[in-house]
Amino acid sequence: MFTGIIQSIGEVAAIEAKGDDTRLRILTNKLDLGDVQLGDSIAVNGVCLTAVELPGDGFFSRLMIWQSILLKRALFVLMVLVERVML
């Protein structure tokens, strides 16, 4: 459940496009994801993203095509200019 409380600062590590699928890689740094399961939502700069893979140091989220089109440029700007996101 979203509490509205920023718990950590993470980093946009990658935006991976594979055909019609786009995945976003977020490094969560010190945020403990021990209780997060696949399918759970994690707020990233106020946008809830669904965790589709949990490699241990962050998570991947799959973006739908419309999300990909709208967010790809904004996330690219974050990755290039800012890199850090609120979790």
48-75 per-position pLDDT tens digit: 889 999 998 999 998 765 555 566 666 6
> How are beta strands 21-27 and 58-63 bridged, if at all?
antiparallel
CATH pick for 9-86 out of 3.20.20.60, 3.40.50.2300, 2.40.30.10, 2.40.30.20:
2.40.30.20
Q: Tokens 């399918």 identify what position?
A: 39
Range from 4-18, 28-42, 63-77 carrying the lowest mean pLDDT: 63-77
**Whole-number average pLDDT of the chain:** 79
Give residue limits of the domains in the chain.
9-86
Q: What is the pTM of this model?
A: 0.71
d(CA 68, CA 28): 21
Residue 77: predicted pLDDT = 59
